[in-house]
Amino acid sequence: MQKIFVAGKLLEKTEEVLKQMGATFWTGTGKISEEELKKGAKDAEAIICPLSAPITSDVLTASPKLKIVANVGAGFDNIDVQKAQELGIAVTNTPKVSTESTAELSFGLILDVMRRISEGDRLLRTHPEEFKGWAPTFFLGRELHGKTLGIIGLGQIGQAVAERAFAFGMKILYSGHHPKEVAQKWDARFVSQEELLEKSDVVSVHAAYSDELYHLFQKETFQKMKKTAFLVNASRGKVIDEAALVEALETKEIAGAALDVFEFEPHVNERLTKFENVVLTPHIGNATVETREQMGDMAVANVKAVLAGDAPIHSVY
């Protein structure tokens, strides 16, 4: 039987299928290490792994029988794709199935940070005495209706966020990927990134990560934003220089932020946790039962195809 090594916990439904295929499972907790990967996958023909698994050049070369690395996730920056291609190892991901769940979470973050939902929940749990009942000036947030949402990257997820924003009566600007024929139905306008930063009340990041986007948001970027603007990021943590973000929040360069991903994940900058105008969620953009089941199904399908001698279904190159 062909050996499949599973480098992280998956949903029970997916694991049951893999057990029937004779897979072996890493049984540790947290994030698997490079050394544990080398040991577990040394005789494997397939690795199924989460985005947190470091599939480095050393891991790939230490697995001479390896035919495929199947990432359970749309991203694949945890894998040395160039080395895999050199070695003739297929690399697959699970594209598109995360679109609706990640868009829902992203828009939830926008609602949360602008209307101070989590902040209000904390107030009632920790300082209920401060709530004296309805009052004209108490706990004021910002309405979404009529505000401008700037979307960086109008791909599948960006489009799904735009659709939700349009339903809330928001005006939409976007930069980066620009499918003009699609954007017309939301009256979305393509602008330069600089104009987007200057005019948006909320900036939401949905661009696919590449080295060019490292620290896209830094000190100079925040200075271009409105002082009343909010930053939302459910894409990749490295897009934001968190030290610069902390400084921008401390100096009130921007009004607040909502983050689902972090620069040094899983470490979360402790200074970010001190701000009441910052919403933090633990990388749960596509964390729904429905999406994770589909991701598992796709990873298994990719492995079955390659081990049967067929082309991968969702190759990243």
Residues forming a β-bridge with 278: 257
d(CA 200, CA 189): 12
d(CA 314, CA 302): 7
Q: Rounded to the nearest 10 degrees, what angle do helices 99-115 and 117-126 cross at?
A: 60
d(CA 73, CA 101): 13
Q: Is 119 a catalytic residue?
A: no
* DSSP codes of every residue in 77-92: TTB-HHHHHHHT-EEE
d(CA 32, CA 205): 28
**DSSP class of 133:** S
Annotated active-site residue in 236, 253, 263, 292: 236
CA angle (245, 195, 232) in 5-degree steps: 35
Q: Which amino acid is at 201?
A: D
Handedness of CA 100, 104, 105, 106 (dihedral sign): positive
Q: Is 283 a catalytic residue?
A: yes
Q: Is 236 a catalytic residue?
A: yes
d(CA 138, CA 131): 9
Annotated active-site residue in 115, 189, 271, 283: 283
What would you report as the CA-atom Rg of the chain, rounded to the nearest whole angstrom? Answer: 21
Annotated active-site residue in 34, 100, 265, 293: 265
Chain centroid to CA 309: how far? Answer: 32
Are 9 and 314 spatial neighbours (Cβ–Cβ below 8 Å)? no
Nearest CA-CA partner of 253 in 237, 236, 275, 268: 275
How far, in Å, are 87, 127, 216, 240, 316 from residue 244 at the CA level? Answer: 40, 30, 11, 8, 33
Catalytic residue numbers? 236, 265, 283
